[in-house]
Amino acid sequence: MDSDRIQRKAYAKVNLGLDVLRRREDGYHEVRMIMQTVDLYDTLTFSKQKEKGILVLTDQEALPGDESNLVYRAAKLITDTYGVEQGIRIDLQKRIPMAAGMAGGSTDAAAVFHGMNELFDLGMGQEEMCRLGVRIGADVPYCIMGGTALAEGIGEKLTPLKAAPSCFVVIAKPDLEVSTKYVYENLQADSLAFHPDIDGMQAAIDMGNLQEMAKRMGNVLETVTETRYPVITQLKELMKAGGALNALMSGSGPTVFGIFDTQESAGNIYEELKNKKITSQVFLSALV
Which residue type is seen at 190? D
* Helix, strand, coil percent content, the chain, rounded in steps of 5: 35, 30, 35
All residues at 6 or more sequence positions from 262 whose CB lies less than 8 Å from its CB, including other chains:
168, 243
Is residue 52 among the annotated active site residues? no
**Closest approach of Cβ 88 to ligand ATP, in Å?**
15
Q: Is 139 in the site for ligand ATP (CB under 6 A)?
A: yes
Does residue 174 bind ligand ATP (CB under 6 A)?
no
Annotated catalytic residue, options 19, 139, 173, 236 = 139
The span from the CA of 129 to the CA of 109, in Å, is 11
Q: What is the DSSP string of 96-135?
A: SPSSSSS-HHHHHHHHHHHHHHHHTT----HHHHHHHHTT
- Residue 100 touches ligand ATP, criterion: CB under 6 A: yes
Q: Name which of 11, 59, 15, 281 is nearest 164 in CA terms.
A: 15
* Cβ count near 185 (within 10 Å): 11
Stretch of 103-111, 123-131, 209-217, 270-278 contacting ligand ATP, by CB under 6 A: 103-111
Active site residue 13: yes
Listed residue (215, 202, 210, 201) closest to 262, CA to CA? 210
The answer to whether residue 101 forms part of the interface with ligand ATP (CB under 6 A) is yes
Q: Which is nearer to ligand ATP, 70 or 77 (CB)?
A: 70
Residues contacting 146, CB < 8 A, separation 6+:
11, 37, 110, 288
User: How far apart (Å, rounded) are the C-alpha atoms in residues 180 and 178?
Assistant: 6
Residues 57, 98, 207, 241: which binds ligand ATP (CB under 6 A)?
98
**Under a CB-based contact definition with an 8 Å cutoff, are residues 67 and 52 in contact?**
no
User: Any contact of residue 106 with ligand ATP (CB under 6 A)?
Assistant: yes
- Residue 57 makes contact with ligand ATP by CB under 6 A: no
User: Considering the complex, what minimum distance in angstroms separates the CB of residue 211 from ligand ATP?
Assistant: 27
Task: Decide whether 99 or 204 has the Cβ nearer to ligand ATP.
Answer: 99
Nearest to 242 by CA among 255, 254, 259: 259
Judged by CB under 6 A, the number of residues near ligand ATP is 19
State yes or no: residue 70 binds ligand ATP (CB under 6 A). yes
Residue of minimal Cβ distance to ligand ATP: 105
Choose, by CB under 6 A, the member of 38, 99, 167, 217 that binds ligand ATP.
99
Site string for ligand ATP, 176-195 (x = CB under 6 A): ----x---------------
Per CB under 6 A, 71 contacts ligand ATP: yes
Residue 65 Cβ vs ligand ATP, minimum distance, rounded to whole Å: 9
Q: Which residues are designated catalytic?
A: 13, 139
Tell me which residues touch ligand ATP (CB under 6 A): 63, 68-71, 98-106, 108, 139, 180, 251-252
